[in-house]
Amino acid sequence: MPDDTTPPDTDAAADEATSGAADPAPAGSPAPGEVVGFEAPVEAGTEQSGAAAEERAEQRVAETDEPAAAEAAQARADPTGEAPTQADEPEGPAPLSDEEQALLDRLEAELGEAVVESASAFGNLVVRVRADSWRRAAEVSQAALGCDYLSFVAGIDWQPAPREGGEVGGASSAPVQPTETTYGAAGSAGRFQVFAHVQSTGRHVGLTLKADVDEAEPVVESWVGVYPGADWHERECWEMYGFVFDGHPNLRHLYLPSGFEGHPLRKDFPLLARQVKPWPGIVDVESMPDEAPPDGDAGDGEGEGDEVTTGDEATAADSPPDAPSDGEAETGDATP
């Protein structure tokens, strides 16, 4: 292990230097922003609790104030959003475990500045890498971290789904979701992300890798050359999200018929079954006689925190896990 540390390290540095020089734009991280994003998680650790993540993501959204459309603007605004994040960190987040920290250190030694952000989600290390290092991240995971096993490659669309059947919560096409764009562990710069989980069968460690995917030109490097099992996962992701995997030998439909149009797992792809018939779970959000009415009755409930004060006592009384209602106050979807 120690022997092969140095050569790839310099390699990586050289790699990064060249790629950084070639196009500084795509990952949207000018030099100062990069340093912050790369340093912050290491020293301060990152969050454990979902509420904290929510809060932080909210804050960033508020900072940048983007309507999930102009991803270039987001990319530019991202480093500025990073600064208050760092100030927040000491209070909320739980630190990485030793095991996670060791993995992250190793990954950073190899990838250098390509590691954008990292977090621990319930004992699972989540690392966001720059899109142009996606394939390199796989190679490093396999060679340096010993992660020989590929669990999956998948995509995610962070844009909230449009509500069908009016803006009344509950009568929508689905369980009420917040309409603001928030991002999960390790953040995101835009709407689309590709994420994958790899692990080691011998050392019993694993991590989730994430990379941002440009909305206008959703091209990602393929992992097939590293993990042959990525073949089908990437085909699925291609048809479900429309991500093009550069270097994939055979991108064709896997599940869907070959003439299928659209990308079903994108949030703006309508689910026909929900358009003809409202969500059957609507009965589940009716209020109990002794509880405050759900926000569905009070219009769309997106005005910041109009329901929260009424719901607070009841929530605190019978549902301890819901207690961190600060995050909810911001999302404005508090049901009971």
Q: Which residues between 28 and 57 bind another protein (CB under 8 A)? A: 49-51, 53-54
123 sits near another protein (criterion: CB under 8 A): yes
Q: Does 122 bind another protein (CB under 8 A)?
A: yes
Site for another protein in 162-181 (CB under 8 A): 173-178
Rg (CA), the chain: 21
Looking up tokens 């795509």 gives 26
For residues 238 and 209, give the distance between their C-alpha atoms in angstroms, rounded to a whole number.
Answer: 18
Site for another protein in 316-335 (CB under 8 A): 318-322, 324, 327-328, 331, 333, 335
Q: In the range 54-93, which residues lie near another protein by CB under 8 A? A: 54
Binder of another protein out of 161, 189, 194, 211 (CB under 8 A): 161
Instruction: Give the interface segment with another protein, choosing from 2-10, 60-68, 71-79, 227-235 (CB under 8 A).
Output: 227-235
139 binds another protein (CB under 8 A): no
By CB under 8 A, name the one of 124, 171, 244, 300 that touches another protein.
Answer: 124
Q: Which stretch binds another protein (CB under 8 A): 27-35, 64-72, 214-222, 248-256?
A: 248-256
CB of residue 144 to another protein, shortest distance in Å: 15
Q: How far apart are CA 130 and CA 297, in angstroms?
A: 44
54: enclosing H helix or E strand = helix 50-64
Contacts of 288 (CB under 8 A, 6+ apart): none
- 118 forms part of the interface with another protein (CB under 8 A): no
For position 229 contacting another protein by CB under 8 A, the verdict is yes
Q: Identify whether the C-beta of residue 199 lies closer than 8 Å to the C-beta of residue 205.
A: yes
Query: Is position 208 an interface residue for another protein (rule: CB under 8 A)?
Result: yes
The residues with which 206 forms a beta bridge, in sequence order, are 199
In angstroms, give the least distance from the CB of 150 to another protein. Answer: 5
Q: How far apart are CA 215 and CA 157, in angstroms?
A: 10
Assess 246 for contact with another protein (CB under 8 A).
no
Size of the site for another protein (CB under 8 A): 73
Per the CB < 8 A criterion, the answer to whether 24 and 129 are in contact is: no
332 Ramachandran zone, left/alpha/beta (phi>0; psi -120 to 50): left
Show the binding pattern over residues 256-275: x = contacts another protein (CB under 8 A), - = does not: xxx-----xx---x-x--x-
Query: Nearest distance from residue 171's CB to another protein, in Å?
Result: 13
Query: C-beta of 257: minimal distance to another protein in Å?
Result: 8
Straight-line distance from the first to the last Cα atom of the chain, in angstroms, rounded to the nearest whole number: 54
Contact 328, 319 (CB under 8 A): no
Enumerate helices (H) and strands (E) in the chain, giving the number of each.
10, 7
- Which tokens sit at 232? 């089908």
Verify binding: residue 277, another protein, rule CB under 8 A. Answer: no
User: Residue 123 Cβ, how far from another protein at the closest point, in Å?
Assistant: 6
Query: Would you count residue 202 as binding another protein (CB under 8 A)?
Result: yes
Q: Is 150 one of the binding residues for another protein (CB under 8 A)?
A: yes
Structure tokens at 242: 């429309």
Say whether 179 sits in a helix, a strand or coil.
coil
